[in-house]
Amino acid sequence: MLTRIDHIGIACFDLDKTIEFYRETYGFEVLHIEANEEQGLREAMLKINETSDGGASHLQLLESTREDSVVGKWLAKNGEGVHHIAFGTADVDGDAEAIRGKGVRVLYDEPRIGSMGSRITFLHPKDCHGVLTELVTAAPSDPAGH
C-alpha cells in the first residue's frame, strides 16, 4: 500500500545552484548528496518536513553528468523542471506487481537500488496520465524514510 509522497524529482542543469536556491528561498535542509555513475547523474535529497508515518517528504534534485543519461536526455528535451513523483511504500515488489496487474507498465522487472540504498521502480508515464511515477522503499537502516 502506498503510504505517502516520498519525493518529487526535479531535473536541473546545475545541482549546486539549485540546492542553494531551495536552501535560501525555502530553508530546506540538504539531507544527502551522491553521484550515481550508473545512471549518469548527481543528486541531492532535500528534506521538506516530517510525516505522521515517521517518514519525511523530500525534493530530489537531479543533475545529469552525461548527455546520454535518462536525465540528460530529459533536460535536453524539456529543460529544468519536475521530472517525476515518487510514492513511498513498505513493499515496492508487492505494490509494483499489484499495479502491473492493473495494466500499468512497470519499467523494471526487478526493483533497483536508488538513493541512499532505497529500492525503486518506475511506472510508465503513458500509463499514468503523463507522469513518470516512482515507487520507493527506504533502506532498512533508514527508519525515517530517508
* Short-list 36, 33, 7, CA closest to 18: 33
Contact by Cβ (8 Å): 57, 4: yes
C-alpha–C-alpha distance, residues 89 and 146, integer Å = 12
Q: What Å distances lie between residue 118 and 44, 107, 112, 131, CA to CA?
A: 14, 17, 8, 21
Annotated catalytic residue, options 39, 63, 134, 146: 134
Annotated catalytic residue, options 39, 63, 83, 84: 84
Task: Clarify whether 97 is annotated catalytic.
Answer: no
Length of the chain: 146
Annotated catalytic residue, options 58, 60, 63, 83: 60
Annotated catalytic residue, options 43, 63, 83, 146: 43
Annotated catalytic residue, options 7, 58, 83, 146: 7
Residues 6+ apart with CB under 8 A from 99: 106, 123, 135
Can you say whether the dihedral through the CA atoms of 126, 131, 42, 51 is positive or negative? negative
Task: Clarify whether 32 is annotated catalytic.
Answer: no
Task: Clarify whether 43 is annotated catalytic.
Answer: yes
Active site residues: 7, 43, 60, 84, 134
